[in-house]
Structure 1
């Protein structure tokens, strides 16, 4: 339970996921923002109009999955690092999970990392496909991970294997 241990319940997670058929159409953002707080930079950063306008700045973001193209512009604007992009069409066996990352050292492309779930438990090994670090991202790097498809909705962070 989020209020007791910081981990959302299965019901809370399910409430923000795109429909299964949307996942077959390419990358899509998922906002795992579970608390009503005064925040709306994701709405202002979405050029597709996929994040619905807030009636109250304390509302949680709502994504129109049909409008979302998975560009990820909202990810680096989220101060809570609560937005992820999932691409189930990456390959037959793997999905691409794009994760906001603000730690050092940065992983390297090709590196194998330990993919972890919302509770901090290791769930798979993942390969770093891309480390996106541009000036417009304002120091929030986006790390692209290839993960086993069956883990794409569980993987939400990672650990490097060793400190370099």
Structure 2
């Protein structure tokens, strides 16, 4: 993997198993249940799919925000998610607590464009982020991002760095 000399940790997201594993020096450290895209895997712009391949954590966002902080356009709104807020905005795709913004490393696959158009993970705004605790995990339901429980994303956020390798695999 890219940057293994710099980072002794890396993440592996498995779409078939709906898991995110953090590995440290070839040993599995932690496993989380996640929710990837309802539309399966793929890289094309507007596909609603989770992209495969080698990525890095390009930006960490929200480290000083409270648990369940609401983000719109990667900016905290000042709101904290609860049932009443959910009722006010029933169609919102909630991005909560923390954001790990991913960037693809494979030109024409998850970076830049290819013969079908844009396929850039970063420009598609693909994140690892928190979601309401009422949303199921272990079932593909997102619009392309990797959703996690809020306690899990806050825990993971503290253990990762910008530039850290992330591999997304189909199975």
TM-score (ref. length: structure 2): 0.26
Pick the structure with more helix per residue: 1
TM-score (ref. length: structure 1): 0.27
The structure with higher relative contact order (CA 8 Å, sep 6+) is: 2
Pick the structure with more strand per residue: 2
